[in-house]
Chain A
C-alpha cells in the first residue's frame, strides 16, 4: 500500500489512528506491529512470513548478543556475525540473485538460472534497520529489547517500512519503550505528512509524467532532452523526500521522532554537501556501520580511499541490482575524492553561483546514469542531449511545452529551497491568524491531493478512439 493512495488515506489511516489512541498505552506497540504487518502484506502477502522470520531471528540474536556482550565477548561477536550474514544473505538472495546469476552466466561453462523473484517491499530499508538493532546492542549503544513485540514494531514500523528513513535503533530505543504522544506532536506531524503528500502527488507524479514522455519521445530534440531530464531531477527529489516527510509526519503523529532525511539537497554548494543533504539516513548508516568500522580516515590515505570506495560502491549497489547503479555510486566516489583531495579548497575562491552550478551539473548527470538501468537507452538519451541521433535542436513542441510548464517549474524550484519553510515558521510564530490560515491550508492540500488521486483513476473506457 502506498501512502499516496485513496485506500491508505481514507481507510487504513483513520482506522489505525482511531484504535491507536483508544488503545491503552501498553497495547500500542502491539497494534503498531499488527497494522504494520498488514500494511506489509498488502501487495505481497506471502512475504509477511519473511518479515516475521526476520523479526524473530534478530530478536533472538539481539537477545544473546546482549547477554554475552559483557561476559563472553567472543561469543557475542560470533552471534553478531551470524546475524549480519543471515540478514545480508536474505537481502542478497531476494535482491541480487538474478543480477549475479545473469552476469556470472556470461562466463563460459557457467550457467545459473535466474529466479525472477518479486522483490519483497522495503527489504533494502528494513534489512539495514534490523542490522542496526543487533549492531547497536553489540556496541552498547542500545539496550537489549526483551519484548519481541517491540522488536517487531521497530522493524516493521509502517511509516518508514517502504522507503525509509532508515531509523537507527539507538534513535528510537527510548521512544519504543515509552513515548509521549501529544497534540503538539500530532498537529506538527499532520502538517509534515500533508506537506509530503502534496510533494509526492501534486509535484512528483506530474513531473514524472513529463519525464516519462520525454524518455519515450521518438522525436526528441536536444533541448527536449535537457528539459525532460530536469523533470526527473524534480521527480526523484519530490517523490523521495515527500515520502520521507510522510513517514516522519506519521511517526510524529504517533509520538516517534524520526530524523530528517532530506535537507534541501539542491541548494548544495558542492557534491560533498549534496550528500550530507540527500538521503541523510542512508549516508549516516553507511558511515556508522561501514565506513567507521573499516577504520574511517584512520590508517593512512590508501585505507581512507579504500574505505570511501567501499562505501560508494555499496551505496550505488544498494540502490538497485544493476550495473548503472554501481556506476552511479562510483561516479560519486570519483567526484567526492576529487573534492576531498583538492577541489573543495580551490572552490572556496569561486563565486557562489558557480559552485552551485557545478554541483547541479554533476547531480543532473548523475540522475541520467541512475534512471536508465538499460544503459544502451541511457547512452542514446545522452546522445540526443548533444545532438547525436536527435530530431534537431529545438522543435515547436518544445517551445509550447516549456512555455506551459513555466509556472510549474517555478513552483518546483521554489519548493526546492528552504525559504518557504523559513517564512512559514516566521509567520506561524508571529501571527495568530496565519496559524488558522495554515490549519485550513493543510485541509486544502489534503483535498487537492484527493482530487489528484481520484482523477488519476479516471480512465474512461469508451469508444474514445473513434
Chain B
C-alpha cells in the first residue's frame, strides 16, 4: 500500500516518458529465447541429447571403469572411491556412540575426497588435458601450465621470480664447507648447471623476458668473483664453475645438450659438463669418440611434456654413453641396501620416469666403486638429479660417494673425511639453487 503511494509520488515528481528499464531488456530477451525455441524443436532435441548424453555417459563411466590405483605419469597414488564413514566393526548403535556414523561426511572429508576422486579417475583424462593444451596454444598464449612452446619442439618450463637469496645462501654455505674441508686437504668445487630455459634460450619465442632468467646467474657469478679476491674476509679457495655458458654455446651451435621435453641435460650435455670439470681440475677427459652410444629409449616423454598438454610434441631420445668395462662397477644404494652392477637401472626404462635409470634415481646416499680393488682417487658428489647422468663419466676416474642433501640428513663433512675423499663436487641446477637453501645442510657437523 505504502509503496504504491510512494511510487505514484515518484512518478508525479518525474513526469518524463517512461524509460526503458532493465526489466524490459530482460523480458525481451526471455520472449526472444522462447520464440526461437518454439521454432527450433529439431535442433533443440539434438542439442539436449548431445549435452545430456555427454554428462550422463561420462558420469556413468566414472562408476563403471575400475579405479586406477597409481598414476605412472604423475608418479603418485590416486584417490580411490570415497567413503561416507570410516570402517567400524560393530552395530549401527555402537557406530553412532563411537561417533563414527557418517563421520567423514560431517567432517567434510567426503566432499574433498569426491573432488579428488573425480579429478584423479576421470575417464579419457589424457584427451581432455591435451584438448586444453591445444586451446591455450590456439588462443596464441604461447604456453600452457607454465610450459612455453619453443622452436624445434622445445618445451621450456617457465622460471619466474627466482629467489636470488637462496642462490647466495647455497653458495655461501658451500664456501664455508669448502674452507672447513680445506684443512684436511680436500678440495671442493661448486658447479651450477643451467635449466632447459637457460641453456636453450634461443629456442624461446621472440621477446621472451630473458633478463629474468639471467638474474640469478649474474648474482651467482658476482658472488663467486667477490669471494675470489684474496685478502678479503669473504675469500674462499672453493673452485667455481659456471656450466651454463659452455652448454649454451653448444646449444647455439645446434647440439642437443638439453632434452626438449624434460628439464634435464641430455647425456651429451652431461658429457660436456664432465669435460669442463676435468679441464678445471687439470685432468684429461675421455674423448667423446671413446664411448659407444646406446639408445636407451626413443620414447622419453619428460616432465615438461607431461605438464604442457601439447601431445603433438615428439618424444626425446635418451642415450647411455657406454665405455668398455662399465659393468665392472659396484653401485651400492645405502638407503635400501641394494647392490647393482654398473650405473644403469633399466627397470625405469619401462616406466614414465626414464631419467631415473641413471644411478637408479633419487637416493640419499649411493657409492660407486670399481671392481678389483684398484686404489683410485675418491670423489664426493653432492648433487641434485643433474648429477645422475654425470656420475658414469666421473666414475671412470673416481670412486664415488654420492649424496643428495634433500634426503641425506647426516654430516656431509664427516662422511667426506671418514670415507677418505680427496675431492668434493657440489653440483646443482639453477632451479634447485633458487627454490630452496638445501645446501645449508652442509654446515651440519
Contact = CB atoms under 8 A, between A and B. Distances in A.
Contact of A455 (B132, B140, B384): B132
Given A139-B3, A438-B43, A428 B140 contact: no
B145 A458 contact: yes
A5 interface: yes
Interface residues of A, number: 87
Contact of A425 (B36, B47, B62): B36
Contact of B431 (A439, A457, A466): A466
Nearest to A397: B209
B48 interface: yes
Contact of A298 (B10, B135, B431): B10
9 contacts: A259-B26, A298-B13, A451-B131, A451-B132, A454-B119, A454-B125, A457-B119, A460-B74, A463-B385
B48 A404 contact: no
Interface in A428-466: 428-429, 432, 435-436, 438-440, 442-443, 446-448, 450-452, 454-455, 457-466
A139 B356 CA distance: 74
Nearest to A253: B48
A139 B7 CA distance: 14
B50 A183 contact: no
B131 A460 contact: no
Nearest to B120: A457
Interface stretch (B265-273, B277-285, B301-309, B395-403): B301-309
B181 to A, nearest CB: 24
Interface in B258-276: 263
B391 to A, nearest CB: 14
A9 B51 contact: no
B108 interface: yes
Contact of A440 (B36, B50, B212, B431): B50
Contact of B209 (A11, A396, A454, A458): A396
Nearest to A457: B119
Contacts of B38: 184
A465 B431 contact: yes
Contact of B22 (A276, A297, A459): A276
B211 interface: yes
B187 interface: no
A443 B47 contact: yes
A451 B135 contact: yes
A399 B140 CA distance: 14
Contacts of B6: 292, 295-296, 298
Contacts of B115: 5-7
Could you say which of A186, A217, A295 has the most chain B C-beta atoms within 10 Å of its C-beta?
A: A186
A257 interface: yes
B232 interface: no
B303 A464 contact: yes
Interface stretch (A42-50, A54-62, A143-151, A376-384): A42-50
Nearest to B44: A187
B291 interface: no
Could you say which of A295, A429, A447, A455 has the most chain B C-beta atoms within 10 Å of its C-beta?
A: A455
Interface stretch (B27-35, B336-344, B415-423): B27-35
B22 A396 contact: no
B128 A11 contact: no
A397 B47 contact: no
Given A403-B207, A463-B356, 9 more contacts: A7-B118, A11-B118, A183-B45, A185-B34, A191-B47, A395-B209, A438-B43, A448-B132, A458-B309
Contacts of B73: 460
B210 interface: yes
Contacts of B119: 6, 454, 457
Interface in B14-72: 21-23, 25-26, 29-30, 32-48, 50-52, 54-56, 58-59, 62
A429 B119 CA distance: 39
Contacts of A406: 140
A219 B163 CA distance: 12
A438 B357 CA distance: 51
Contacts of B33: 188, 425
A442 B353 contact: no
Contacts of A465: 431-432, 435
Interface in A1-59: 1, 5-7, 9-11, 13-14, 17-18, 42-46
B384 A396 contact: no
A464 B108 contact: no
B55 A183 contact: no
Contacts of A91: none
B362 interface: yes
Given A43-B111, A184-B44, A408-B139, A396 B34 contact: no
B212 A436 contact: no
Interface in A106-149: 139-140
A425 B32 contact: yes
A423 interface: no
A263 interface: yes
Given A435-B43, A454-B128, A457-B120, A194 B34 contact: no
Interface pairs A-B: 7 shortest CB-CB: A457-B119, A439-B47, A184-B37, A435-B43, A397-B209, A187-B44, A6-B118
Contacts of A443: 47, 50-51, 54
A194 B51 contact: yes
Given A438-B47, A460-B306, A404 B29 contact: no
Contacts of B413: none
Interface residues of B, number: 96
A400 interface: yes
A132 B289 CA distance: 84
B106 interface: yes
Interface of A: 1, 5-7, 9-11, 13-14, 17-18, 42-46, 139-140, 183-188, 190-191, 194, 202, 213, 217-219, 257, 259-260, 263, 276-277, 280, 288, 292-293, 295-298, 395-397, 399-400, 403-408, 411, 425, 428-429, 432, 435-436, 438-440, 442-443, 446-448, 450-452, 454-455, 457-466
Contacts of B34: 184-185, 188
Contact of B58 (A10, A184, A191, A458): A10
A42 to B, nearest CB: 5
B75 interface: yes
Could you say which of B22, B58, B131, B205 has the most chain A C-beta atoms within 10 Å of its C-beta?
A: B22
Given A295-B6, A455-B309, A448 B131 contact: yes
Contacts of B160: 213, 397
Contacts of B429: 466
B36 A407 contact: no
Contacts of B303: 460, 462-464
B120 A407 contact: no
B210 A396 contact: yes
B114 interface: yes
Contact of A429 (B9, B36, B211, B356): B36
A170 B52 CA distance: 32
Contacts of A46: 106
Given A454-B128, A462-B75, A404 B58 contact: no
A424 to B, nearest CB: 10
Contacts of A194: 51
Contacts of A45: 105-106, 108
Interface string B107-138: 01001001111111010010011011101000
A44 B58 contact: no
B122 A454 contact: yes
A49 to B, nearest CB: 11
Could you say which of A403, A446, A454 has the most chain B C-beta atoms within 10 Å of its C-beta?
A: A454
Contact of B40 (A257, A296, A404, A428): A428
Contacts of A438: 43, 47
B1 interface: yes
A396 B133 CA distance: 25
Contacts of A190: 47-48, 51
A455 B47 CA distance: 25
Nearest to B353: A463
B208 A139 contact: no
